[in-house]
Amino acid sequence: MTLLSEQTIKSQSDYQTRLNASIECACFLLHQELSFRGHDECECSSNQGNYLELLHFLSRNNKAIKKVTFNEAPRHNKLTSPNIQKDITQAAAEEITNVIIKDLGDSLFSILINESRDISIKEQIVVVLRYVDNNGHIIERFLGIQHVRDTTASSLKAAIEALFSKHGLSISRMHGQGYDGASNMRDEFNGLKALILNSNPSVYYVHCFAHRLQLTFVAVTKKHNEVGDVFNFISSIINIVGASCKRMEERFKMMRENDWESLLEKVSSFYIKHDIDILNMDDEYKLRGRSRRKSQGITNLHHFRYELFNNIIDMQLTELNDRFTEMMDLMVLGDQLDTYIIDLRGDDEFSGIEGIASLIEKMVKTKKNLIFPLVYMLIKLSLLLPVATATVERVFSAMHIIKSRLRNRMGDKWMNDSLVVYIEKDIFDKIDNEAIMKRFRNIKTRREQL
C-alpha cells in the first residue's frame, strides 16, 4: 500500500512537471504570437515546429523536464498533441477573461464593435468593453471575436447576446455603443444600434469620431480641388519614388540629411512642369504671371510651404466646424453639485486637473467619490461613452498576424483564444502557471489528474 502511494505521488509529480513545461512552451509562443505546429512533426524531422522544438530545448537544459517528457513520458500522456496545445491556450484565455469580468464587476459598460474578414474570408466581429474601474481609470478590454455567417443587424445582435451570455453580461448593463458608421450598424430603424436601443433605451450611440474625421476630409477633398490635387500629388510621388530601389535610396538619403529644402524644390518643380496651380492665389500673387513661376520656380519655399498647408488646414477646419456641433445639457444635481463645486474650489489637490479623466481619478484617490456619489456617477457615465474604435482596429491588425496566410486553417475558437492572450498581455503576464493548470484540468476529464 505504501509502495503504491509512493508510485502514485511520483506519477503525479512527473505529470505536473510535464504539464508545467508544456504550459511554459505554449505561453511563450502565445506571448510572441508564433505558430505552434510544424510542417513535419515526426521524430525524424529536422524541424518539428516551434512548440515541440521549444519543448526539446527545455528538456535538453533541464534534467527534471528531460526525465518526464517525450520518450520518458507515458505513451498516451505526453502532453504534446495539438488538442493539448489548444486546451492550454483556452485555459490561458479563460483566465484572462475571468480577470476582466471580475474587474468590471457590476459596473455599467459600453461596447465597441466592428466587423472584418479574416484571411480565410470568414466574417468576424470584434467586441471590446469600455468601463471605468474602481480606481477611476478608463479601461478598454477585448472581450472576444465571433464568426457570423452574414452581417445583418439581427445576426450581429445574436452574436453579441451569445458572447454576453457566455460571460454573464447583459444588455441591460450597457450604457453606450460605438461603431464605425456602417449602415447595418447605425441605421435608425433596422440597424444594430436600433435593435439594442429596443432592448435598452439608455444605450447611447456614438459614431466613431475617427471615421467622422475621415469622412470630413473626404468631403473637403471633393469640395476643394486644391486639396485633392495635393493628395493626388503626394500619392504620385510615393508611387514614383517607391517604384525603384535607386529612387528609394535617394529618398532615404535625403531624409537622413534633412534636406527638406531640396525636397520642396522638387515639389514646386513638379507642379510647374505639369502646369498645376497649387493654391487659389490672391490677386497680387496671380499678377506675377504663370510664365514667371515657370521660369523661376517658387523661390520663397518657406512662403510656399506655409501657404500650401495653411490653406489646406483652413479648409479642413471650416468643414469640421460645419459638421460638428458641441451640445451640452446642464444636469442640475441640486445641493450635492453646489457643495461639490465649493469643496473642489477650496481643495489645492484639484488645482492641476486636466480633463474629466484626471478629475475622476483624483476623486477616487481623495475618496470624494464616496462623499459625492451622484457627481461621481455623472462623470463616470460621460467617460463610458466611446469616442473612437481604435481598440477594435488594433484587434483586427492582431487578427491578421495570428491568422496569417500560412495559418489560414486556424479555427475560430483557437483564433479567439490566441487573440485574447496576445492582446491582453498585461493581464496574461500576471497569471501564474498554477492558475492555468487548474483551469486546464477543469476543461475536460484527463487520463491523469493532479
- The burial of 125, by beta-carbon neighbours within 10 Å (0-12 exposed, 13-18 middle, 19 or more buried), is given as buried
Q: Give the pLDDT confidence score for residue 313 in this predicted structure.
A: 54
Range 220-229 contact pairs with CB under 8 angstroms and sequence separation of 24 or more = 220/315, 220/316, 220/319, 223/315, 223/319, 224/315, 226/277, 226/278, 226/279, 226/280, 226/311, 226/312, 226/315, 227/312, 227/315, 227/316, 229/276, 229/278
The span from the CA of 318 to the CA of 312, in Å, is 10
pLDDT digits (tens, 9 = 90+) for 146-176: 998 888 889 999 999 999 999 999 999 998 9
The three three-digit cell numbers of residue 363, written as one number = 476623486
Q: Round the average pLDDT of the chain to a whole number and report it.
A: 80
Which of the pair, 28 or 11, is modelled with greater confidence? 28
Asked if pLDDT for residue 290 goes beyond 50, the answer is no
User: How many Cα atoms sit within 13 Å of 194 on the Cβ side?
Assistant: 11
Q: Give the pLDDT confidence score for residue 299 in this predicted structure.
A: 46
Share of the chain above pLDDT 70, in %: 76
- pLDDT confidence tier of residue 231, bands split at 50, 70 and 90: confident
Under 8 Å between Cβ of 203 and 175: yes
- Residues 6 or more apart whose CB falls under 8 angstroms from that of 35 comprise 29, 49, 50, 406, 407
Residue 111: strand, helix, or coil = strand
pLDDT digits (tens, 9 = 90+) for 189-205: 678 888 999 999 989 88
Under 8 Å between Cβ of 384 and 130: yes
Which of the pair, 117 or 289, is modelled with greater confidence? 117
For domain 92-208+386-428, the question of CATH label 3.40.50.920 is answered with no
Asked if pLDDT for residue 138 goes beyond 60, the answer is yes
DSSP annotation string for 193-208: HHHHHHH-TT-EEEE-
Q: Give the pLDDT confidence score for residue 253 in this predicted structure.
A: 63
Under 8 Å between Cβ of 378 and 108: no
Q: Give the pLDDT confidence score for residue 81 in this predicted structure.
A: 92
DSSP 192: H
Which of the pair, 276 or 447, is modelled with greater confidence? 447
- Which one-letter amino acid corresponds to residue 433? N
Residue 334: strand, helix, or coil = coil
- pLDDT confidence tier of residue 432, bands split at 50, 70 and 90: very high
- pLDDT confidence tier of residue 419, bands split at 50, 70 and 90: very high
When pLDDT is averaged across residues 409-418 and rounded to a whole number, the result is 92
Residue 257 has phi, psi (to 5 degrees) of: -85, 0
DSSP 123: E
pLDDT digits (tens, 9 = 90+) for 311-348: 555 655 565 565 544 446 444 466 788 888 888 888 88
The span from the CA of 23 to the CA of 280, in Å, is 65
| CB neighbourhood size of 157 (10 A) | 18
Q: Give the pLDDT confidence score for residue 191 in this predicted structure.
A: 85
Which residue is associated with the grid cell 510651404?
305
Which of the pair, 382 or 319, is modelled with greater confidence? 382
pLDDT digits (tens, 9 = 90+) for 246-264: 666 666 665 555 555 565 5
Under 8 Å between Cβ of 151 and 123: yes
pLDDT digits (tens, 9 = 90+) for 97-110: 999 999 999 999 99
pLDDT digits (tens, 9 = 90+) for 23-81: 999 999 999 989 998 888 888 888 999 999 999 999 999 999 999 999 988 888 899 99
- Lowest mean pLDDT of 279-288, 401-410, 416-425, name the range: 279-288
Residue 215: strand, helix, or coil = helix
Which residues in 252-284 are b (16+ Cβ under 10 Å) and which e? eeeeeeeeeeeebbebbeebbeeeeebeeeeee
- Residues 6 or more apart whose CB falls under 8 angstroms from that of 264 comprise 301, 304, 305
Complete edge-to-edge strand list for the sheet that includes strand 109-117: 138-147, 123-132, 109-117, 174-179, 204-207
Q: Give the pLDDT confidence score for residue 346 in this predicted structure.
A: 85
Under 8 Å between Cβ of 286 and 292: no
Q: Give the pLDDT confidence score for residue 141 in this predicted structure.
A: 96
Residue 431: strand, helix, or coil = coil
Q: Give the pLDDT confidence score for residue 425 in this predicted structure.
A: 94
What are the extents of the domains in the chain? 2-80, 92-208+386-428, 213-323, 335-384
- The burial of 441, by beta-carbon neighbours within 10 Å (0-12 exposed, 13-18 middle, 19 or more buried), is given as middle
pLDDT digits (tens, 9 = 90+) for 291-316: 444 444 444 544 544 455 555 556 55
Q: Give the pLDDT confidence score for residue 261 in this predicted structure.
A: 59
What's the pTM? 0.76
Q: Give the pLDDT confidence score for residue 292 in this predicted structure.
A: 43
The span from the CA of 107 to the CA of 284, in Å, is 63
Asked if pLDDT for residue 409 goes beyond 60, the answer is yes
